Structure 1
Amino acid sequence: MRRYAKPIVVADDLGLLRGQTTGVVTLPRHLDWSGAADYNLDSSGRIVDLYRTVLIEATNADDLHAFLDQMVLTRLWPSIWLPPELRRAWEQRFPELRRAASEVSAA
């Protein structure tokens, strides 16, 4: 089994996640070096891409606070693919995310 090699960064409090929720966001190079760092948050596919990218590539909690929003994260959580270790760390800190995911799978 392959282990997740990146350091895992988890927010201290979901209430601190107050990122932009509409319009276009451009991620800094340390989060997205792909050359396609502009994300239109009004596009359902691109917002999921932005959240996945920030969750995986965040180097500190400030990255999370700047680009994620609590309500959007909770809504998108069940549909964001994440490495299992990263998902587990977030769900251990915030059981409400695990509940949101289980409610969607039960529906």
Structure 2
Amino acid sequence: MRYADSRAYVVPESLDGLTGPASGVVELPPHLDWSEQHVYDLDDPAQAGLMYERVIREAASPRDLATYLNAERLARLWNRLHLPARVRRQWESAFPTLARTA
């Protein structure tokens, strides 16, 4: 069994609570991104996608998701995010509108 298949992922109760920044520069805390590249320019689509992938995979609480993700930006990025299949299924099951954006 792979790690991605056994770990718990956080899924928000509502996309409406995802009110993080949609643009600008964001620095993630070490519990979300312990790499050297922990600062992301959300105005660069590639960096925004990478940050969203990391936050979705590593979030420890719904607060992490609400702080760093923006619902409108998430919907625009969703089909380009590289996520473990299990976390993608969990999010799309909770929010079918995401699956329809793909």
Q: Distance in 1 between matches of 2:36 and 2:7?
A: 21
Other-structure match for 1:104:
none
Matches within 5 A, 1:1-107: 2=2, 4-101=5-102
> What is the RMSD of the two structures over their aligned residues, measured on CA atoms?
1.0
Q: Distance in 2 between matches of 1:74 and 1:81?
A: 14
CA apart distance, 1:6: 2.3
- Deviations 1:64-101, CA, capped at 9 Å, x for gaps: 00000000001100000100000000000000001111
Runs (5+) with no aligned partner, structure 2: none
SS in 2 for 1:4: helix
CA apart distance, 1:36: 1.1
| Counterpart code for 1:40 | D
Give the fraction of aligned pairs with identical amino acids, expressed as a percent: 42
Runs (5+) with no aligned partner, structure 1: 102-107
Bigger Rg, which one: 1
Instruction: Normalising by structure 2, report the TM-score.
Output: 0.95
| Counterpart code for 2:63 | D
| Total equivalences in the alignment | 101
